Structures are given as structure tokens and as C-alpha cells.
């Protein structure tokens, strides 16, 4: 990599493109264009938090991913004119069974990833739209796909299979797991903070609008709460989480709901929003005195406790529990509820440390160390891209 080159990381969503520019491990700037197609807005900050841009964009300048990325390219040309983009790294939620490492993007890969869209309909189409836009904006520049599923690809079949006829597993109906970029970053930070603990039996709870949990041994994924799609496991902002398949049969057979209607229910109208009838945002729920909001919070925490016990059973015990993600990093209440009545497993919180948003949340004498570690998926992508382009 030349002295003045940098790596651009892109995380494309349905109505926004988040981006970050890296020089090695150093983040030069980060920003996003949100409101695609409606009220587009560009905001950018440097690593010290200084505002570099905060302005509305003409609708035509961010009507879609292509034009929004054009606005980002224009900003970078002005803000960092001496920085050539060496490579562009992309978060891709689903890599299927074949991708355990970051990989350069070509037409064949894009076609394969297109076929996985039904397994991650909230994310995959927009991730791929970002890649296609970047290929136009940066012709000839390597585009690298980094997969949220890759961290979990080393599981044995007994962990990833469903109790279905074997032919389904062979055609790809299996547990994949997600949030792998976050888990890999947090596992690395834990190894820096507490190396002995990081080599042990660890559960990481990535709690945000999307939520899952992962059991790790020696920093490697052993099992995770999400499965074939990003619907499984914990309830989320608008997603149901684990649900009895019999409920789906009932909705089809007795309520006459088709696949599209059920998908809309499970992806967009369930989770914290469905339970509370108020909001998918934990901050709004915590500020509310509505009993339905409290039910949503308590159910969320109950499912975290349930998944903690299940993953600890797979690990054969527990040495550390780590909270990350937007809710996991910021909600002392959720962390407290998630650790309540878990003394049988050795989990205990120091209430003062928890309220103060400390890194270590458990007393020194606790059997299980509890941590709050901020995740950084974009930095993990930058690391993966650097390793690949230097190889």
C-alpha cells in the first residue's frame, strides 16, 4: 500500500450508506448519507469527532445508491484529495455455505450472492446495491466482500444441521449465524483486555436493532443463536426471533396468510415493536411508563437469559459474558435484567460499574467476568481488506 492510499469501508442499507476511510488502523473520517430517495443528508466527522460535513443533498444527488455514492466520492475528492482509494471493503450479511473468508468481487460472486437474498431480505439486496454502485464509482479498484456469516463457518455439522432429511442440509438449509464481523472484533478486544479470559468459554451478546448471541471457545465461534436467516434467536427491533413453526402453519392454514404476509409480520411488525405496540427503539421503551413497553423490555431480557443458559450448556460452563451492540453497550437496565437470577451460573454485576458504563461490569471476585465492549464492524472490515490486498 502506498503512503497516500487508504481503504474505504462501505456498509450499505436500504435508505443509507455508511462509510469510513482508514489509513491502516487509523480512521481518517466516518460518515453516512441517509434518507436515500426522500430527504438525503450527508454527515461526516473525523476521528476526533469534528464535523466535516452536515448538509442536505439535492434529491437527485442521492436518489439511489449509485448517486449517493457519487456524492460520497465528491466529498472525498475535496476532503482527502491526496488519498487514493486502494480498495473498498463491503459488509455483506449473507455469504452462504461457501464463504469463510473475505473475497474479491466479480460478476460470478455477485450472481451467487444475489441468490441468497431471500435468506436476508432486509440486508442483502442493499449490501449488493452498494457493491454495484462502488464498482461504478471506483472502476478498477478492488472491491472486497466481507461476510457476517464467515465467523461461524467452522462449526461441525451437528451444530449447524436442522432435524430435517439430510438432503435439505446438502442444498444449503442449515444454520449460518450472523453478526460475525462484530463477534470477531469484540473477541479480539477481549483478548487484549483480558487474554486469559479471552481464551476461555465466552458468550458475546450483540444487542441492537438486530440481536444475537454467540458462544466462543479460544476466540472461535462454537454456536450462535441465529440460524438459517436473520430471524432466529432473540427478539429484535421489529423481528420476531425464535418462533414455534406451528404458529406459521396456523397463520397459513387458519388465517389464510401467504408467504409475503408472514414475512412482513415476522420481519417488520414483530419484536420489540410488536410486543410494545409503541416502538422498536429501546430508548423509547425505557422512557415509557406503558406496561406494554415494560413487557417488551422484560421479554427481551428473559430471552437473553434463556440463550445464555443454552450457550453455556454447549460450552460446558462459562468464563465471561460480554455485552456489545447499541443496546448492549448503552442500556444499563437491559444488562441488569439480562444478568438477574443468573447467580447459579456465576454471573453477577457490580451495579455502580454497570450504571457508569464501565468496561468490566462484574465484581473482581465473580466467577464469571462480565464486560461491556464497544464493537466496530467497519474497522474489522478494514483489517480483513488490508490482509487480503497485502497477501
Task: Examine the domain organization and report whether 305 and 361 are in the same domain.
Answer: yes
Question: How far apart are alpha carbons 308 and 31 in whole angstroms?
Answer: 34
Q: Could you report the per-residue pLDDT of 289-327, keeping only the tens digit for each?
A: 999 999 999 999 999 999 999 999 999 999 999 999 999
**336 CB-near residues (< 8 Å, 6+ apart):** 349, 351, 354
Q: Is residue 320 in a domain?
A: yes
List own/partner pairs for 194-198 with CB under 8 A and 24 or more apart.
194/320, 194/369, 194/371, 197/319, 197/320, 197/369, 198/320
Task: Quickly state the pLDDT bin for 62 (edges 50, 70, 90).
Answer: low
Q: Is the pLDDT of residue 2 over 70?
A: no
Count: domains in the chain: 2
User: What's the confidence (pLDDT) of residue 1?
Assistant: 39
The sign one gets for the Cα dihedral 248, 251, 252, 257 is: negative
Task: Examine the domain organization and report whether 246 and 363 are in the same domain.
Answer: yes
CATH number of the domain where residue 50 is located: 3.30.420.40
Q: Is residue 185 in a domain?
A: no
The sign one gets for the Cα dihedral 188, 193, 199, 201 is: negative
User: What's the confidence (pLDDT) of residue 206?
Assistant: 98
Q: Is the pLDDT of residue 14 over 80?
A: no
Q: Could you report the per-residue pLDDT of 90-123, keeping only the tens digit for each?
A: 999 999 999 989 999 999 999 999 999 998 898 8
Q: Which helix (H) or strand (E) holds 361?
A: none
Q: Could you report the per-residue pLDDT of 19-31, keeping only the tens digit for each?
A: 999 998 899 999 9
CA-closest candidate to residue 325, choices 271, 268, 274, 282: 282
User: What's the confidence (pLDDT) of residue 16?
Assistant: 82
* Average confidence score pLDDT of the chain: 94
Question: How far apart are alpha carbons 150 and 168 in whole angstroms?
Answer: 20
Q: Which domain holds residue 41?
A: 5-147
Instruction: Give catalytic residues, as residue numbers.
Output: 148
Task: Quickly state the pLDDT bin for 3 (edges 50, 70, 90).
Answer: low
User: What's the confidence (pLDDT) of residue 35?
Assistant: 83
User: What's the confidence (pLDDT) of residue 391?
Assistant: 62
Question: How far apart are alpha carbons 370 and 338 in whole angstroms?
Answer: 11
Question: How far apart are alpha carbons 364 and 204 in whole angstroms?
Answer: 19
Q: Do 6 and 28 meet the contact criterion of CB atoms below 8 Å apart? A: yes
Q: Is residue 167 in a domain?
A: no
Q: Which of 110, 131, 147 is the last residue of a domain?
A: 147
180-193 helix and 377-390 helix, angle to the nearest 10 degrees: 90
User: What's the confidence (pLDDT) of residue 230?
Assistant: 92
Average of per-residue pLDDT across 59-70: 76
Task: Quickly state the pLDDT bin for 61 (edges 50, 70, 90).
Answer: low
Task: Quickly state the pLDDT bin for 60 (edges 50, 70, 90).
Answer: confident
Q: Do 92 and 132 meet the contact criterion of CB atoms below 8 Å apart? A: no
User: What's the confidence (pLDDT) of residue 188?
Assistant: 98
Q: Do 37 and 117 meet the contact criterion of CB atoms below 8 Å apart? A: no
Q: Is residue 18 in a domain?
A: yes
Task: Quickly state the pLDDT bin for 349 (edges 50, 70, 90).
Answer: very high
Task: Examine the domain organization and report whether 35 and 134 are in the same domain.
Answer: yes
Task: Examine the domain organization and report whether 209 and 130 are in the same domain.
Answer: no
Amino acid at each position: 500500500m502506498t503512503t497516500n492510499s487508504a481503504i474505504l469501508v462501505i456498509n450499505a442499507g436500504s435508505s443509507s450508506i455508511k462509510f469510513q476511510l482508514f489509513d491502516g488502523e487509523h480512521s481518517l473520517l466516518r460518515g453516512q448519507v441517509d434518507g436515500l430517495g426522500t430527504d438525503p443528508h450527508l454527515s461526516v466527522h473525523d476521528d476526533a469527532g469534528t464535523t466535516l460535513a452536515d448538509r442536505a443533498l439535492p434529491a437527485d444527488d442521492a436518489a439511489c445508491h449509485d448517486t449517493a455514492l457519487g456524492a460520497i466520492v465528491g466529498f472525498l475528492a475535496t476532503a482527502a484529495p491526496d488519498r487514493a482509494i486502494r480498495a473498498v471493503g463491503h459488509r455483506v450479511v449473507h455469504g452462504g455455505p461457501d464463504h469463510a473468508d473475505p473475497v474479491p468481487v466479480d460478476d460470478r460472486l455477485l450472481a451467487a450472492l444475489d441468490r441468497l437474498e431471500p435468506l436476508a431480505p432486509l440486508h442483502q439486496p442493499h449490501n449488493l446495491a452498494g457493491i454495484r454502485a462502488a464498482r461504478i464509482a471506483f472502476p478498477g479498484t478492488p472491491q472486497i466482500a466481507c461476510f457476517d456469516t464467515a465467523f461461524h463457518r467452522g462449526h461441525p455439522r451437528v451444530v449447524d444441521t436442522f432435524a430435517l432429511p439430510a438432503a435439505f442440509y446438502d442444498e444449503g438449509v442449515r444454520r449460518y449465524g450472523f453478526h460475525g464481523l462484530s463477534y470477531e472484533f469484540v473477541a479480539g478486544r477481549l483478548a487484549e483486555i483480558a487474554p486469559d479470559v479471552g481464551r476461555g468459554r465466552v458468550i458475546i451478546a450483540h444487542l441492537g436493532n438486530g440481536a444475537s448471541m454467540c458462544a466462543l471457545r479460544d476466540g472461535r465461534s462454537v454456536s450462535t443463536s441465529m440460524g438459517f436467516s436473520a430471524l432466529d434467536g432473540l427478539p429484535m427491533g421489529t423481528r420476531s426471533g425464535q418462533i414455534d413453526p406451528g404458529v406459521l402453519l396456523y397463520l397459513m392454514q387458519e388465517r389464510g396468510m401467504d408467504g409475503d404476509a408472514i414475512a412482513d409480520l415476522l420481519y417488520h411488525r414483530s419484536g420489540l415493536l410488536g410486543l410494545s405496540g409503541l416502538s422498536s427503539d429501546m430508548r423509547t421503551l425505557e422512557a415509557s411508563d406503558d406496561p406494554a413497553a415494560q413487557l417488551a423490555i422484560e421479554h427481551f431480557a428473559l430471552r437473553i437469559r434463556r440463550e445464555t443458559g443454552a450457550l453455556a450448556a454447549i460450552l460446558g460452563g462459562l468464563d465471561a459474558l460480554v455485552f456489545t451492540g447499541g443496546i448492549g453497550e448503552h442500556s444499563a437496565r437491559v444488562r441488569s435484567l439480562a444478568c438477574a437470577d443468573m447467580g447459579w451460573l456465576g454471573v453477577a454485576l457490580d451495579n455502580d460499574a454497570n450504571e457508569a458504563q464501565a468496561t468490566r461490569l462484574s465484581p473482581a471476585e465473580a466467577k464469571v467476568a462480565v464486560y461491556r465492549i464497544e464493537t466496530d464492524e467497519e474497522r474489522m472490515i478494514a483489517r480483513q481488506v488490508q490482509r487480503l490486498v497485502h497477501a
